[in-house]
């Protein structure tokens, strides 16, 4: 053992500026999460792909093929598969945010205390929590990319893509950050035994009522529902991707951006506050 002796001096001062140390640690935390993602990539792929694959297969391939129309046939079917594509991306993003952030956090807070090794890294606790949001966002983005080909090529009717690049490069990062923040907010509040509940009463209603499978504008036919679903952040993610990727009528751009930014801010604040409360005595 020849380590510490030489470095113990009379003065005791940190070797790095706080900001420098914190930025390095923040980056290292993300690298750690990416490494874990790499090690578990097959599982990641399976949980990312299964649900959208089945939805797109059943609704946009099986139904039209057997003549059981969702969205009718011909133009209606194209409208459906086109509308479904951004919705599935939105679902993948939100689903991954919860999978990537909530589930590990709940067990780390509940059964094990292993998050504490990262809390002891030389950065503020809020930054450790923010790192969780960013790492969730990265995983959500990967999930979104994986889902795109399924949503494009499996439907038996053509999907009509109309790319709006400016919208895409602004909506996508916001949507992914929102998903990470949602994952953190839930993860710092749920107990280990409540995970099935999280999926049963949060994730499934969110996806069913998140304008993923239908454009929000079309809910005009059920006026109360159209307004009631606005509490669901997935609405704005689905509509945002619809705006960025298709020519289908969507919610107004300012509504989408305001809600995406607003939800991200509020959920981040809730998540970081919850994280601090769980970690600090």
Partner 1 sequence: MTGGGANRTETGPSADIIRTEALTKVYASKGGPAITAVDDLELGVHAGEIFGLLGPNGAGKTTTVGMLTTRVVPTRGRAWLGDVDVIDDPVAAKQLIGVVPQVSTLDRALSVWENLYFHGRYFGMGARSARRAADETLERFRLTDRANAEILELSGGMAQRLMVARAVLHRPRLLFLDEPTAGLDPQSRLALWDVIGELHADGQTILLTTHYMEEADQLCGRVAIMDHGRILALDTPATLKRSVGSDTEIRITSPEATRVPDLARHLEDFDGVQAATATTDGLVRVYLRGDHAGLARLIAHADAGGFEISDIGITEPTLEAVFINLTGKDLRE
**CA atoms of 30 and 18, how far apart (whole Å):** 18
Comparing CA positions, the residue from 262, 268, 213 lying closest to residue 233 is 262
When asked if residue 25 is in the footprint of partner 1 (CB under 8 A), the reply is yes
When asked if residue 221 is in the footprint of partner 1 (CB under 8 A), the reply is no
Q: Are 242 and 248 in contact (CB under 8 A)?
A: yes
- Looking from the CA of 60 toward its CB, the CA atoms found within 13 Å total 28
When asked if residue 277 is in the footprint of partner 1 (CB under 8 A), the reply is no
When asked if residue 273 is in the footprint of partner 1 (CB under 8 A), the reply is no
When asked if residue 15 is in the footprint of partner 1 (CB under 8 A), the reply is yes
Is the Cβ of residue 152 or residue 279 nearer to partner 1 in the bound state? 279
- Looking from the CA of 249 toward its CB, the CA atoms found within 13 Å total 5
When asked if residue 35 is in the footprint of partner 1 (CB under 8 A), the reply is yes
**Max CA separation in the chain (angstroms):** 82
When asked if residue 42 is in the footprint of partner 1 (CB under 8 A), the reply is no
Among 92, 123, 185, 267, binds partner 1 (CB under 8 A): 123
Is the Cβ of residue 109 or residue 150 nearer to partner 1 in the bound state? 109
When asked if residue 120 is in the footprint of partner 1 (CB under 8 A), the reply is yes
Comparing CA positions, the residue from 186, 106, 183 lying closest to residue 140 is 183
By CB under 8 A, name the binding residues for partner 1: 1-5, 7-8, 10-16, 18, 20-22, 24-25, 28-29, 31-32, 35-36, 39-40, 104, 112-124, 279-281
């Amino acid at each position: 053992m020849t380590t510490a002796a030489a470095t113990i001096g009379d003065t005791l001062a940190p070797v790095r500026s706080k900001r420098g140390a914190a930025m390095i640690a923040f980056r290292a935390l993300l690298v750690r999460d990416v490494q874990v993602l790499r090690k578990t990539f097959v599982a990641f792929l399976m949980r990312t792909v299964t649900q959208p694959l089945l939805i797109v297969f059943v609704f946009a391939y099986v139904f039209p093929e057997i003549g059981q129309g969702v969205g009718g046939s011909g133009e209606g079917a194209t409208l459906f598969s086109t509308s479904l594509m951004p919705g599935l991306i939105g679902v993948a993003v939100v689903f991954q945010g919860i999978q990537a952030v909530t589930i590990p956090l709940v067990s780390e807070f509940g059964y094990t205390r292993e998050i504490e090794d990262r809390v002891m890294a030389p950065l503020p606790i809020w930054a450790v929590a923010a790192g969780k949001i960013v790492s969730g966002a990265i995983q959500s983005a990967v999930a979104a990319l994986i889902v795109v080909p399924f949503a494009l090529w499996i439907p038996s009717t053509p999907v009509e893509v109309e790319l709006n690049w400016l919208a895409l490069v602004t909506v996508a990062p916001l949507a992914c950050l929102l998903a990470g923040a949602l994952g953190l907010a839930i993860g710092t509040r749920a107990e280990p035994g409540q995970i099935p509940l999280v999926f049963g009463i949060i994730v499934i209603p969110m996806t069913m009522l998140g304008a993923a499978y239908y454009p929000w504008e079309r809910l005009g036919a059920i006026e109360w529902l159209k307004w009631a679903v606005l509490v669901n952040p997935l609405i704005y993610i689905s509509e945002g991707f619809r705006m960025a990727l298709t020519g289908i009528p969507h919610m107004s751009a300012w509504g989408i951006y305001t809600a995406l930014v607003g939800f991200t801010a509020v959920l981040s604040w809730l998540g970081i506050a919850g994280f601090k409360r769980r970690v600090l005595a």
